Chains A and B, each alone.
Chain A
Amino acid sequence: MALIELDEVSKLYGFGDATTLALDEVSLSVEKGEFIAVMGPSGSGKTTLMNIIGLLDRPSHGSYVLGGKQVAHQPAAQQAKLRRDQIGFVFQFYNLLPRLNVLDNVALPLTYKGMTPVRRAKRASDILELVGMRDREYYMPYQLSGGQAQRAAIARALINRPSIIIADEPTGNLDSQDSRVVMELLAEVHRQGNTILLVTHNPELTRYASRVLYMYDGTIVGDEKTAIGQMARHARRIFFRKPRTTDNDIAAGVSALIRDVPDKALNPRAKRGRPPKVKKPARRRKAYRTKN
């Protein structure tokens, strides 16, 4: 029995002409204890997928079974409880509440569970010990370095002992040293038996993953099992390929990086040599942004 079971999940944004398809009939099954890295260019639907799995968003179509229960269309209060008890979020920009100290930030999910202040503080303190932040308990978030803030955020995500950790580019804002610390921490959490979903742009980080998903235009275009410690095969290809800009690209005013999308490399059905439809990702990104 898979922990997460997505069946033909779609997500649409906007109305009429401005409708954008952020997820296009994505089906995905995640077993307990997997460490999944999700890769893909901006606007490929990685974050939307994470939001749906994390119950922050509802799919427009399709079914989502979490731990054997259909959860996509549960009432908001139920979803909030699932987020509280089952899911831990780690964001790119840490998202600690600026007016609370580290301890209170970490203990916040317990507040919503109705735990007494003393027990909350003890539990938060224990978790902070685990992430090596015990000596920073009474610091305010602005007094922390990026790596420390992210470790506090991981502590907050862990405090309810969730079954799933969703980390949306947790190292996106960190230098390589802090990135390493944060990733080692996530790896440790994974070794304890947690399921981790990691969104990343950095192919190097697939070394920590047991499975790598590649997304493009709202669909999963590649799904690769990989050994922990090894960089995923396709990720390596993206990593080592040098950006090339042809005369055509310059005429079209398009950066080689956009051409450098992984679908060509990954999708076995795609024929090599055909010029890519360069406009597509740009438009999608725009539509995503203008919604609000």
Chain B
Amino acid sequence: MWSGNLKTAIGSLRQRRWRTIFTMLGIVIGISSVVTVVSLGYGFKHQIVGQINQLGSNVLTVRPGKVIDKQGGVSSLNLYSFLAPSTLTSDDVSSVRHLGLVSSVAPIEFVTNVASGDNGELDNVFVAGTSSNLFDLLHQNINYGAPFSEDDADQNFAVIGSDIAAKLFGVLNPVGSTVHIDGQDFIVHGVLAPSSGGFLSIAQADYNTSVFIPTAAADSLTSNHSNVLQILARVKPQANIDQAAARIRSTIAHNHGGTVDFSVLKQNELLGVTDQVLGKITNFISALAAISLLVGGIGIMNIMLVSVSERTREIGIRKAIGATNRQILNQFLVEGLALSIGGGIIGIGISYLVNLILRLYSSWHPVISVPILILAAGVSIGTGIIFSIAPALQAARKNPIDALRGE
């Protein structure tokens, strides 16, 4: 019975080829955008979680904005803290560095997003000032050259990401070349190994598109108005991490006149924050994408209603030769489902394509996981049932003689 219905449905959908294609298009767009958005969110999370795990559990991260509530849990996130300029300063960095409980400290100061090399200028670069031990802290390998050392703090040296190396110089190993940042020349001292991880919470930038310069140089570029995005501190193995966090908190609070306008995050808290931020953003964008799914569903309903009234006579004939209302209902339900499931399958296919393109041509790494696929399948089946039930009921309830007479 069901296979017969499916055959009938496919036959009638093929009969009206263009109409079917355009109706499916709504579902295709809806499903592919939802899947892509969710997989992007999932991919970001994956990258960042990997990055955080790479840091190790004894690294504390200090970030501007207060995200930890009084109980010590992650407070419901307030996105305003991301809009404000950083409240952390280089003084805070040196204060933390002088604490006995930490073994190494590295700041990340945002400088600019423009850099140029032999091949021209790039404007999606993350130029950051940092100290020489950052790479060690991040467990980030250097492929060519070497990181700048503590002694080079006042030198115009730069360590660049592998993507930047390729884009600015067109070679894998541009060590010794010159990169121009804000009118100053920096000598490429090292090239980072390609990394899959993104910057902690700085979603777009990852190490592959970063240029690191010593803090002193960064300060001179920004005339000492450097914008400290975060401070990473590795706690000494023998020290208690909670104690260290408390010490760092009180030290920086002291610098800030007692105001706690920053957060000191342990690994698991960092994970929590990441989870929440990405969860919120993903949900929000998915909701927008879901609207297109809704519109697609309404398209299905519309077309099914048209189809039912066009095929009034067919319904009449089928009823006259013994089809029950339920059998007519099933026929049209299967047709609506064929539309939405077909659209869903094509949509999933397209999101795989988008996934591939994003992986090839951008620094994003979307991940289409099984739960996303189950979600997409469920949503397309649900859409099909919800939006074709009304037309199918209309068909099933037609009076056979009126239907036979109708044209």
Contact = CB atoms under 8 A, between A and B. Distances in A.
Interface string A84-109: 11000101000111010000000011
A247 B135 CA distance: 115
Interface string B302-339: 00000000000110111111111111000000000000
Contacts of B320: 54, 56, 83, 89, 95
Contact of B317 (A80, A84, A95, A111): A95
Interface stretch (B52-60, B125-133, B211-219, B399-407): B399-407
Contacts of A160: 322
Interface string A17-53: 0000000000000000000000000000000000100
A51 B405 CA distance: 12
A54 B321 CA distance: 10
Contact of A99 (B15, B325, B400): B15
- Chain B interface size band reads 20 to 34
A126 B325 CA distance: 29
B314 A112 contact: no
A85 to B, nearest CB: 7
B85 interface: no
Contacts of B220: none
Interface residues of A, number: 28
Nearest to B5: A111
Contacts of A109: 321-322
B325 A80 contact: yes
B321 A56 contact: no
B322 A85 contact: yes
Contacts of B317: 95-97
A289 B64 CA distance: 79
Given A51-B401, A80-B324, A112-B321, 20 more contacts: A56-B320, A56-B401, A77-B324, A77-B326, A80-B325, A85-B322, A89-B320, A91-B404, A95-B317, A96-B317, A97-B317, A108-B318, A109-B321, A109-B322, A112-B322, A112-B323, A112-B327, A113-B322, A114-B1, A156-B321
B155 interface: no
A156 B405 CA distance: 19
29 contacts: A51-B401, A54-B320, A56-B401, A56-B404, A76-B324, A80-B319, A80-B322, A80-B327, A81-B322, A83-B320, A83-B321, A83-B322, A84-B322, A84-B323, A95-B317, A95-B404, A97-B314, A97-B318, A99-B12, A108-B321, A109-B321, A109-B322, A111-B4, A112-B318, A112-B324, A114-B1, A117-B4, A160-B322, A292-B402
A57 interface: yes
Contacts of B1: 111, 114
Most chain A CB neighbours (cut-off 10 Å) among B1, B4, B317, B321? B321
Interface string B274-301: 0000000000000000000000000000
A95 B402 CA distance: 14
A51 B402 CA distance: 11
A77 B321 contact: no
Interface string B385-407: 00000000000000011101100
Contacts, number: 65
B120 interface: no
B296 to A, nearest CB: 26
A128 to B, nearest CB: 16
A95 B315 CA distance: 11
B147 to A, nearest CB: 72
B11 interface: yes
A53 B90 CA distance: 96
Nearest to B406: A292
A99 B321 contact: no
Most chain B CB neighbours (cut-off 10 Å) among A85, A95, A157, A292? A95
B311 to A, nearest CB: 9
A56 B401 CA distance: 6
Nearest to B399: A57
B404 A84 contact: no
A99 B11 contact: yes
B4 to A, nearest CB: 5
B347 to A, nearest CB: 28
Given A97-B317, A99-B12, A81 B324 contact: yes
